Amino acid sequence: MLRLALPPSVRSASRLLVLLAGALLCLDALLLMSIGMRHLGVVLPLPIGLALIGLAWRGAQWQHWLAQQRWRQRLWRAVCIGFWLWLASLLLFFLQIAQAGREGPDLSAAPPGAILVLGSGTNHCRPSPTLRQRLERGLDLARAYPQARVVVSGGVDPGFGCTEAEVMRRYLRDRGLDEARLLLEERSTSTHENLVFSRTLLEQVGLDPRHTAIMVITSDFHVPRSLRIARQAGYAQVRAAGAPTPRHLRWNAWLREYFAFASSRALGEF
């Protein structure tokens, strides 16, 4: 395999940068896992970080092992090319998500007949930081549109025995929202189910999403996928309002959304 003859100082600096990047990725994952977060956007940085630390620490031995067999060099080259292509696609996705997050809903359109707040996990039956932001955004819009029903959508959180919808109901009630306006959807385990099950609930109270304006409340990074799934699920007059993502969770949330977007596409959800 072709290797550039870099000066020792450059090689040392490169090794240090790789080691630092690996350590930061591991630290990020471990800190978030220590507070109970386990989704792919949190877990994946850990093996990537460990791999980078290993390359920085044992890079010479690794290159020596590769040099012993041509097939190893070819396989390693393919892995490196695949990783860089994946990283480029991830960066492009992040740029698109960042742009989408700066776009707000069209508040000049017809008032919504219902506001649908999508769940985002709980922490010991209390709203997670991300869910709290969604609920605050939903509360603001519920006050701006007092005639709208408010749907809170989210099923059982594994390990806690409560539903996201019930946690959301309590949060909104404690902040002054009239419980008579609330509808609870407590079965869903994904964005697609959020929207499909909530549509059934809305139809039961005479708010058909095919003919009624619906405002979906979710996180800023989640708006593009949510709107696509909603339209596929029969929401003809849907628009969305994105809540800000907590800064310390942003990159991990975006990483998770990258894979969720691909999964939704593969499953035909939009």
Show Cβ contacts of residue 197 under 8 Å, excluding neighbours closer than 6 positions: 153, 185, 187, 188
State how beta strands 238-243 and 214-219 pair.
Answer: parallel
Dig out the tokens for 199 from the structure: 């549509």
Q: What is the pTM of this model?
A: 0.88
For residues 50 and 178, state if they share a domain. no
Element of type H or E holding 65: helix 59-67
Separation CA 230–CA 60 (nearest Å): 52
Assess if residue 85 is contained within a domain. Answer: no
CA proximity to 152, closest of 110, 176, 181:
181
Residues 28 and 124 placed together within one structural domain of the fold: no
- Look at residue 2 in the predicted model and tell me its pLDDT: 45
Query: How is residue 37 written in tokens?
Result: 């977060």
- What is the model's pLDDT at position 116? 99
208 and 154, same structural domain? yes
Q: How far apart are CA 218 and CA 182, in angstroms?
A: 17
Domain boundary among 68, 85, 104: 68
Q: Quote the pLDDT of residue 267.
A: 94
Any domain includes 44: yes
Q: For residues 117 and 72, give the distance between their C-alpha atoms in angstroms, rounded to a whole number.
A: 50
Q: What is the DSSP letter of 216?
A: E
The predicted-structure confidence for 201-226, as pLDDT tens digits, reads as follows 999 999 999 999 999 999 999 999 99
- Does residue 123 form part of some domain? yes
Please report the pLDDT score of residue 154 as a whole number: 97
Round to whole Å and give the CA distance between 181 and 251. Answer: 35
Question: 163 and 34 in one domain?
Answer: no
Look up the domain containing 26 and give its range.
Answer: 8-68
Q: Please report which residue ranges of 145-249 form alpha helices under DSSP H.
A: 164-174, 191-204, 223-232
164: in domain: yes
Same domain assignment for residues 127 and 255 = yes
Which portions of the chain are predicted below pLDDT 70?
1-10, 107-108
Residue 101 is assigned to a structural domain of this protein: no
Indicate the DSSP class of residue 247: G
**What CATH code is carried by the domain that includes residue 190?**
3.40.50.620
123 and 64, same domain (yes or no): no
| C-alpha to C-alpha distances, 239 to 17, 32, 38, 231, nearest whole angstrom | 43, 32, 30, 10
Q: Give residue 6's pLDDT.
A: 57
Radius of gyration of the chain (CA): 23
What was the pLDDT predicted at 237?
A: 94
Q: Are 270 and 238 in contact (CB under 8 A)?
A: no
- Do 124 and 251 belong to one domain? yes
Give me the number of domains the chain comprises: 2
Same domain, 49 and 151: no
Among the listed residues 61, 215, 83, the one whose alpha carbon sits nearest the alpha carbon of residue 138: 215
Residue closest to 51 by CA, chosen among 22, 86, 80:
22
Q: How far apart are the first and last CA of the chain?
A: 43
pLDDT in tens, 12-34: 788 999 999 999 999 999 999 99
Q: Are residues 64 and 179 in the same domain?
A: no
Phi, psi for residue 54 in degrees, rounded to 5: -60, -40
Residue 231 lies in a domain: yes
Instruction: Indicate whether 143 belongs to any domain.
Output: yes
Q: Is residue 25 part of a domain?
A: yes
**Claim to verify: residue 124 and residue 238 sit in the same structural domain:** yes
Shared domain for 257 and 128, answered yes or no, is: yes
Residue 166 shares a structural domain with residue 257: yes
